Structure 1
Amino acid sequence: MNFLASKAQLRASFARWSLFLVPLIVLLGFLGGQMGSPSTVWFQSLSKPSIYPPPAAFGIVWTILYVMIGFSVALVASAWGAFGRGIAIIAFALHFIGNLAWTYAFFGLQNMQLGLGVLVYTALSLVVVIWLFWRVRRIAGLLLLPYLAWVLFASVLNWQFIVENPDGGAGAKEAGAVERIEL
């Protein structure tokens, strides 16, 4: 059944979706960030690239981006009856898994190459999501552009970590540093 919603109904739908999705995306981002930590001995022993921002910047930037992502998804979710809405939401969900997996790949597994692979997947799938969102609601696609810029920056930064630490951070192990994690 297709029907046209009034502007007031669309605004109300967007508000409801926003109240649900913005906190959910921020929470998932926070939980994803708990799958690894830059405070490990391994990461602290890595040579940091010159483009590495102050550590406090990551929390600030990611919080702002997750809020923007939440509003973007809410715009698409509230576009009842819009052509491509369902596939756009599915594509976003598949994309967001990559976003959340990076912390575990890079910090949790301490695998910079896998982290870069996850970022490449994240960037490529994000381009698809932006295109699909754009077709449903242009503003939803536009809201994801700063996120794409940050993912591309993160990819360059990840690559620089690989270049500056060709041993993969083995220096921490050679220095006798040990980190034991028990479950």
Structure 2
Amino acid sequence: MANRWLALLGFIALTLLAASLGGAATATSVGTWYQELAKPEWNPPRWLFGPVWTMLYLMMAVAVWRVWRHREHPDRLRALRWFFAQLALNTLWSFLFFGLRRPDLAFIEIVVLWAAIVTTGLKFWRIDRPAALLWLPYVLWVSFASVLNGTVWWLNR
């Protein structure tokens, strides 16, 4: 039983590490370059992103942990691979958008990220439905972020 909770802490640490890496790329530009870009009226306030992403990363960790616990499920390893792939893509987006200041490349990447997130959610659904439901806010937020990314790119081309 202790290993189970230790694994949850490990998944939380892993997702927060990904968040920290993305945050490092974001920190250099969010208060300067990003503020200068033309953005749509429906762009969320800057203070909202931190709390939303923190909750999403924690929900991701619990979701993947729930899937990880199904050791006997034949699709478990495939679902875990998709999870790790989307987590890497998630981190890459921050480097493209904020680090390189390339909304165009970030938009292409976020479309791929969105597909990986949806695929991961579908894999989770087959293994553990509560995990997939925990995944749904992430799908919705990245759907919104994709439209926002595309709009920012369009307005600043």
Pairwise same-fold verdict (TM > 0.5): yes
Whole-Å separation in 2 of the counterparts to 1:82 and 1:133: 11
Task: Kindly report structure 1 stretches of 4+ aligned residues shifted beyond 4 Å.
Answer: none
Q: How far is 1:45 from its partner? A: 1.7
Deviation at 1:90, TM superposition (A): 0.7
User: Which residue among 60, 69, 80 is the counterpart of 1:69?
Assistant: 60
Amino acid at match of 2:43: Y
Q: CA deviation at 1:43?
A: 2.0
Unaligned runs of 5+ in 1: 1-8, 167-183
- The 3-state SS of whatever aligns with 2:91 is helix
Instruction: Choose between structure 1 and 2: higher helix proportion.
Output: 2
- SS of 2:25's equivalent in the other structure is coil
- What pairs up with 1:27-46 in 2 under 5 angstroms? 27-36=17-26, 37-40=29-32, 42-46=33-37
Matched, 1:90 2:81: yes
Give the C-alpha shift of residue 44 in structure 1.
2.3
Instruction: Decide which structure has the larger Cα Rg and report it.
Output: 1
* Residues 33-68 of structure 1: per-residue CA shift (max 9 Å, x gap): 21233123x322211211111101000000000000
Does structure 2 conserve the Cα–Cα contact (< 8 Å) formed by 1:13 and 1:78? no
SS in 2 for 1:76: helix
Distance, in Å, in 2 between the alignment partners of 1:17 and 1:160 is 39
> For structure 1, which segment, 152-161 or 13-22, has the greater mean C-alpha deviation from structure 2 after superposition?
13-22
Task: Provide the rounded CA distance (Å) in 2 between the counterparts of 1:156 and 1:13.
Answer: 40
Which residue is 2:7 aligned to?
A: 17
Alpha-carbon shift at residue 128 of structure 1 (Å): 0.8
Q: Which runs of 5+ in 2 are unaligned?
A: none
Q: Distance in 2 between matches of 1:82 and 1:122?
A: 25
Which residue, out of 115, 118, 134, partners 2:125? 134
Contact 2:18 2:88 survives alignment (8 Å): no
Q: Distance in 2 between matches of 1:114 and 1:14?
A: 39
* Deviation sequence 1:70-121 (CA, Å, 0-9, x none): 0001011111111200111011111111101111101111111111111101
1:34 aligns to what SS in structure 2?
helix
Output the TM-score relative to the length of structure 2. Answer: 0.92
Find the aligned partners of 1:155 and 1:96 in 2 and give their Cα distance. 16
CA distance, structure 2, for counterparts of residue 22 and residue 78 of structure 1: 15
CA deviation string 1:113-171 (max 9, x = no partner)? 111111101110111101111111111111110000000000011111122212xxxxx
1:1-183 pair list within 5 angstroms = 14-36=4-26, 37-40=29-32, 42-166=33-157
- Paired residues in the alignment total 155
- Paired with 1:28 and 1:97, the residues of 2 have a C-alpha distance of 8
So what's the TM-score if we normalise by structure 1?
0.80
Alpha-carbon contact 1:112-1:162 (below 8 Å) kept: yes
Identical positions, percent: 37
